[in-house]
Structure 1
């Protein structure tokens, strides 16, 4: 599961000569949070995750969660009536939330838990990889942006935001398609849960 947020800031640089090519860079911030669960059986652990996991919608909870915010700081430069995207700095702030056993499990349950948790972590890290790919695609989409524009570079900023939003929509569709495959009946998540609760 993932929770995305997108923001875009724009500034206009001083009116002097700069290269028209945009200098783009992205920064990745990663945090991991946990919530405690306890139980002596796989079924009890699943019940604890259903009770204590991160909220997913109004009434349900998820096993784990990948939340991210995306911020772009765009610096514009205007020369001879043409606005150039001089610099684009993006920040992807990822937060993973995972369950954590509050107390040691017996050896058999511990083995099943470790397999289950590895699958859950792999699922959430795939969401993170898709988000990182989105940042790279956004960089490519806005690199070299320039157009004749007013003193405030209004149209250029609007075009940059349009491109950023278009990439965001494309990659949100990829996130949803991945979740749909993983969470379908008989899918990967169901197999993980079944393997954990088997007697």
Structure 2
């Protein structure tokens, strides 16, 4: 059988909707599945290659982590300045994972369980990076003040520029993590090999 090309597990991000938070909050985390067919690890992995979520022009992935981030915010004029007094995030993270369409034979089921557990843990790291980014946005946002902005117009542009760097940093962290995990000998590479070998 021809070797199956390793698929990248890249972070699929919904674009950042700037501007941040206030008190305690928790992300809503969901899992969505797509079905794959096959009775062997190799067949299942080949099915992932045909049915996995699309990642731009990079083809298909085994799994992706998507998020939607919106904010409730309140700007307050203070003298000749403007202050971001309230910024509360609403973060929804969705992990998209493969699931066999039918029950697998015993030995294959065990291999699949190891594989999907490892893939899920990988995606949870992406989720943690997103949550960390939102906390950093919150930290730089609440109390953010812009002088000479009594109508609270300039503050939005200036804050968006600051938040862009945090978003870029999170995306780079995700890319670096994927690169390490997907490289030869990396964790995901090993999970794929364990799934498809010996069948």
**Is this a same-fold pair by TM over 0.5?**
yes
Query: Runs of 4+ in structure 1 displaced over 3 angstroms?
Result: 22-27
Q: More displaced, 44-53 or 77-86? A: 77-86
Q: More displaced, 27-36 or 104-113? A: 27-36
- Whole-angstrom CA distance in 2 between matches of 1:84 and 1:23: 13
- Per the TM alignment, residue 24 of structure 1 is displaced from its structure 2 partner at its CA by 4.8
> Please, what is the CA RMSD of the aligned residues?
1.8
**Pairing partner for 1:6 from 9, 16, 30:** 16
**Please, what TM-score do these two structures have when normalized by structure 2?**
0.87
Partner of 2:50: 51
**Please, what TM-score do these two structures have when normalized by structure 1?**
0.87
Cα offsets for 1:124-153 (capped at 9, x unmatched): 111001101111111111232113233321
Cα offsets for 1:58-86 (capped at 9, x unmatched): 36211111111222333100021121111
Structure 2 vs 1, CA of residues 74 and 160 (structure 1 numbering), >3 Å: closer, same or farther? farther
- SS at 2:16's partner residue? strand
Matches within 5 A, 1:180-195: 180-195=179-194
- Whole-angstrom CA distance in 2 between matches of 1:42 and 1:101: 11
How many pairs align? 188
- Per the TM alignment, residue 186 of structure 1 is displaced from its structure 2 partner at its CA by 2.2
Q: Which has the higher strand share?
A: 1
Q: Which structure would you say has the larger Rg?
A: 1
